[in-house]
């Protein structure tokens, strides 16, 4: 073996030994859906408290899950935060998740935690309405199927938005055939199926559309805080509350550090950062900076049968809107 190669190998081994002896570790890797500003703040706060650096990938739930699937044989992520509760249920059923109950999850409602995952925060689906649109203020989902809103409504694409799919599923579970009549009326009234959540909202902010059917509330509150003239309306007949699950992958090489990160997110400081983005904190003892869960008429939490039917639901909805 050439001497220069031997020398480089010896140096590399020495550096590895130095890292091990000094207790140094690689960065914790977090894959997350949701506000990029939130993961930046959480990563910075956690590093300041623990000394552990956090690398992250931020994208839609669809992109996060696709990346996990692509890396299944060689996982890179340690912690995953999704915008879809179904994704956590699926990963747990596949045996991908490490069971961990953080001591900081004591005040998280039982509905929003399980052995392998826990809510980081909550959002609710709403109508986002532009008061300058010249349309009457809607009070319920069905108002968006009226002639006043013909061609003026956007909806996030449920094939791209996990929360939009949860809304369809929740409405079908609560209202059955009546929900499908509503979807048909919205189709006939010219409702447009846009891309992900922000893509559905932007034309409403710009005045090209009047309302979003199934807007993610924290995104809309964020636009409001920047001076946008937009109103958030929680429908009188009820809506879906979407919990955002946080989970540790069983394949994580840094499980202790991952547990510490989950503890930090669920600490009072971490939950205050969650609240800062207009999400509802998972902990009931940390105040929200928007209407709390108690003020929202929530539809029942999805059961196993409802979740199992979502692929068929998405197919039926896509066929209705001629999206194959």
The domain spans of the chain are 3-122+243-290, 123-241+298-320
CB 155 within 8 A of CB 214: yes
Task: Give the model's pLDDT for residue 162.
Answer: 83
Task: Give the model's pLDDT for residue 323.
Answer: 56
Token pair, residue 207, equals 């005045």
What is the distance between the alpha carbons of residues 183 and 247, in angstroms, rounded to a whole number? 34
CB 175 within 8 A of CB 77: no
Question: Which residue, chain included where needed, has tokens 């747990």?
Answer: 92
Q: Virtual CA dihedral for 169, 320, 66, 308, nearest 10 degrees?
A: 40
What is the distance between the alpha carbons of residues 215 and 167, in angstroms, rounded to a whole number? 10
What is the distance between the alpha carbons of residues 109 and 132, in angstroms, rounded to a whole number? 39
Task: Give the model's pLDDT for residue 25.
Answer: 54
Q: What share of the chain is helix, strand, coil (3-state, %, to 5)?
A: 50, 15, 35
Query: Which residues, 6 or more positions from 174, have their beta carbon under 8 angstroms from its beta carbon?
Result: 238, 299, 300
**CATH class of domain segment(s) 123-241+298-320:** alpha beta
Task: Give the model's pLDDT for residue 196.
Answer: 84
Neighbouring-strand partners of residue 192: 154
Calculate ∠ Cα 212-215-217, nearest 5°.
140
What is the distance between the alpha carbons of residues 161 and 158, in angstroms, rounded to a whole number? 5
Residue 13 backbone dihedrals phi, psi, to 5 degrees? -65, -35
Query: Which residues, 6 or more positions from 142, have their beta carbon under 8 angstroms from its beta carbon?
Result: 182, 185
Fold match, 3-122+243-290 / 123-241+298-320: yes
Low-confidence stretches of the chain (pLDDT < 50) are 1-24, 324
Binding site members for Fe cation:
218
CA atoms 130, 136, 137, 139: torsion sign? negative
Instruction: Supply the CATH classification number for the domain 3-122+243-290.
Output: 3.40.190.10
Question: Which residue, chain included where needed, has tokens 């309405």?
Answer: 129
Calculate ∠ Cα 35-244-164, nearest 5°.
85
CB 236 within 8 A of CB 139: yes
For the chain, percent of residues with pLDDT exceeding 70: 92
Task: Give the model's pLDDT for residue 18.
Answer: 39
């Amino acid at each position: 073996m050439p001497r220069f190669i031997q020398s480089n190998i010896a140096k590399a081994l020495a550096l590895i030994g130095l890292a091990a002896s000094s207790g140094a570790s690689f960065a914790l890797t977090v894959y997350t859906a949701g506000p990029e500003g939130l993961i930046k703040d959480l990563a910075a706060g956690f590093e300041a408290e623990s000394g552990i650096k956090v690398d992250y990938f931020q994208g839609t739930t669809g992109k996060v899950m696709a990346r996990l699937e692509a890396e299944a044989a060689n996982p890179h992520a340690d912690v995953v935060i999704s915008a879809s509760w179904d994704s956590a249920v699926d990963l747990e059923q596949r045996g991908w998740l490490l069971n961990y109950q953080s001591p900081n999850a004591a005040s998280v409602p039982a509905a929003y935690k399980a052995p392998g995952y826990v809510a980081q925060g909550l959002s609710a689906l709403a109508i986002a309405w532009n008061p300058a649109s010249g349309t009457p203020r809607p009070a319920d989902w069905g108002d968006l199927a009226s002639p006043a809103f013909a061609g003026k409504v956007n909806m996030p694409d449920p094939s791209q938005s996990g929360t939009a799919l949860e809304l369809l599923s929740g409405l079908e579970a609560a209202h059955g055939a009546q929900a499908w009549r509503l979807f048909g009326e919205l189709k006939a009234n010219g409702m447009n199926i846009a891309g992900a959540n922000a893509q559905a909202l932007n034309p409403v902010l710009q005045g090209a559309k009047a309302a979003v059917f199934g807007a993610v509330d924290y995104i809309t509150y964020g636009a409001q805080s920047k001076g946008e003239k937009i109103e958030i309306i929680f429908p009188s007949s009820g809506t879906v509350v979407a919990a955002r699950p946080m989970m540790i992958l069983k394949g994580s090489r840094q499980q202790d550090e991952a547990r510490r990160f989950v503890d930090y997110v669920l600490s009072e400081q971490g939950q205050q950062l969650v609240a800062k983005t207009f999400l509802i904190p998972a902990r009931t003892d940390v105040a929200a900076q928007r209407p709390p869960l108690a003020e929202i008429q929530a539809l029942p939490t999805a059961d196993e049968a409802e979740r199992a039917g979502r692929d068929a639901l998405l197919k039926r909805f896509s066929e209705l809107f001629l999206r194959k």
